[in-house]
């Protein structure tokens, strides 16, 4: 009997060894409850990188894989060409409660991007991917504008006649309000957009934006994809958490050749300097400067 029992135990051990893969299984694979992305800000300066936070519906233990944990994650980010760009992850960290994962990404992540997680991150024997839409603080056009420097490609813009002269109406609040209304009508804005833009023009504080032309150009962004720029400048809804100190025509500090420049004071408050040579230009030419 003892010999038979020993044989059974040995056989059971043999089967157990044969079935073992040597890799941990962490139980049921968690599902993605939420994925959010936020542009990184260091010392008040916005960077071209993002932090993505993933919330899962349960805690987990990572599978014992042969590749770095970050290799199991990637993102598909919509781009200006109408398709998507594949973005890899440089670092992935598991939260203390084992229900969150923080990704470090050396790119800006647009709202509506797709997060993909290889299921082998949770179970080495699994296959396929988990996917989820990412909620981001940056709409797609803002990612494009923030990721490159604008360059003039038409020589006619910088060649030929001298800078447009400043006219008395450029500094007349009533004339600039009328110019704003004319611009809105010319681009086919509806009554609601027109009313909202004019109300914004009236509400912009002259002590922050002294030039009525700049106030009109900023208000003219109402109803466009760049409308969030208005709140970005005038409220705390931006990477600094505070409104701009001033938006005005003055030579950009330390770079008088630039069209415009954002600078920060000791409290990390922004000043947006637009080169005075642009003061005589049309609203339509000032709008993209403020949107960018």
Instruction: Write the pLDDT tens digit of every residue in 93-132.
Output: 999 989 999 999 999 999 999 999 999 999 988 899 999 9
Query: Largest alpha-carbon pair distance within the chain?
Result: 112
Interacting residues of 79 by C-beta distance below 8 A, sequence separation 6+:
85, 140, 144
* pLDDT number for residue 207: 94
Residue 17 tokens, joined: 């060894």
Residue 144 pLDDT > 80: no
* pLDDT number for residue 12: 43
Q: Do residues 227 and 290 make contact, with C-beta atoms less than 8 angstroms apart?
A: no
d(CA 274, CA 256): 10
Tens-place pLDDT, residues 212-265: 999 999 999 999 888 888 998 998 888 788 899 999 999 998 888 888 998 988
Edge-to-edge order in the sheet of strand 246-249: 246-249, 270-274, 260-264
With cut-offs at 50, 70 and 90, classify the pLDDT of residue 10: very low
d(CA 175, CA 221): 18
Q: Do residues 248 and 274 make contact, with C-beta atoms less than 8 angstroms apart?
A: yes
With cut-offs at 50, 70 and 90, classify the pLDDT of residue 21: very low
Interacting residues of 113 by C-beta distance below 8 A, sequence separation 6+:
37, 75, 76, 77, 78, 84, 87, 133, 134, 136
CB atoms closer than 10 angstroms to residue 134: 23
Q: Do residues 235 and 203 make contact, with C-beta atoms less than 8 angstroms apart?
A: no
Could you tell me which of 227, 228, 289, 239 has the C-alpha nearest to residue 268? 239
Which of the pair, 6 or 228, is modelled with greater confidence? 228
* pLDDT number for residue 16: 40
Tens-place pLDDT, residues 39-59: 998 887 788 899 999 999 999
Residue 143 tokens, joined: 């990612």
Task: Give the up-direction half-sphere exposure of residue 248: CA atoms within 13 A in the CB hemisphere.
Answer: 15
Of all helices (H) and strands (E), which one includes residue 86?
A: strand 84-88
Which of the pair, 75 or 23, is modelled with greater confidence? 75
d(CA 111, CA 249): 33
Task: Give the up-direction half-sphere exposure of residue 62: CA atoms within 13 A in the CB hemisphere.
Answer: 20
* pLDDT number for residue 51: 96
With cut-offs at 50, 70 and 90, classify the pLDDT of residue 17: very low
Residue 18 pLDDT > 80: no
d(CA 169, CA 288): 21
d(CA 53, CA 247): 34
The chain-wide mean pLDDT, for the chain, equals 84
Q: What SS3 state is found at 56?
A: strand
With cut-offs at 50, 70 and 90, classify the pLDDT of residue 70: very high
Could you tell me which of 120, 87, 83, 79 has the C-alpha nearest to residue 103? 87
* pLDDT number for residue 146: 72
Which of the pair, 8 or 169, is modelled with greater confidence? 169
Which of the pair, 133 or 48, is modelled with greater confidence? 133
- Tell me, what DSSP letter sits at residue 7? H
Tens-place pLDDT, residues 163-204: 788 999 999 999 999 999 999 999 889 999 999 999 999 999
pTM as predicted: 0.49
Burial class (CB in 10 A: 0-12, 13-18, 19+), 111: middle
């Amino acid at each position: 009997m003892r010999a038979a029992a020993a044989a059974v135990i040995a056989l059971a051990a043999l089967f157990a060894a044969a079935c073992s893969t040597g890799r941990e299984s962490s139980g049921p694979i968690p599902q993605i409850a939420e994925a959010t992305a936020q542009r990184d800000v260091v010392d008040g300066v916005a960077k071209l990188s993002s932090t993505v936070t993933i919330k899962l519906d349960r805690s987990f233990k990572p599978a014992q894989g042969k590749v770095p944990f970050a290799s199991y994650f990637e993102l598909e980010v919509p781009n200006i060409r109408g398709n998507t760009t594949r973005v890899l992850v440089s670092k992935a960290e598991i939260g203390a409660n084992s229900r969150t994962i923080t990704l470090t990404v050396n790119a800006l992540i647009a709202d509506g991007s797709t997060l993909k997680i290889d299921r082998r991150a949770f179970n080495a024997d699994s296959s396929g991917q988990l996917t989820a839409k990412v909620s981001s603080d940056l709409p797609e056009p803002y990612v494009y504008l923030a990721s490159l420097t604008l360059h003039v490609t038409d020589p006619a813009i910088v060649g030929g006649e001298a800078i447009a002269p400043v006219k008395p109406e450029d500094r007349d609040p009533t004339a600039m309000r009328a110019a704003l209304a004319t611009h809105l009508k010319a681009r086919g804005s509806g009554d609601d957009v027109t009313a909202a833009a004019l109300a914004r023009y009236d509400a912009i504080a002259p002590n922050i934006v002294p030039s009525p032309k700049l106030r009109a150009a900023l208000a003219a962004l109402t109803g466009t994809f760049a409308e969030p720029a208005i709140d970005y400048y005038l409220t705390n809804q931006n990477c600094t958490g505070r409104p701009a100190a001033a938006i005005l025509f003055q030579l950009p500090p330390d770079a008088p050749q630039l069209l415009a420049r954002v600078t920060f004071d000791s409290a990390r408050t922004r000043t947006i300097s637009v080169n005075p040579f642009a003061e005589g230009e049309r609203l339509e030419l000032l709008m993209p400067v403020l949107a960018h």
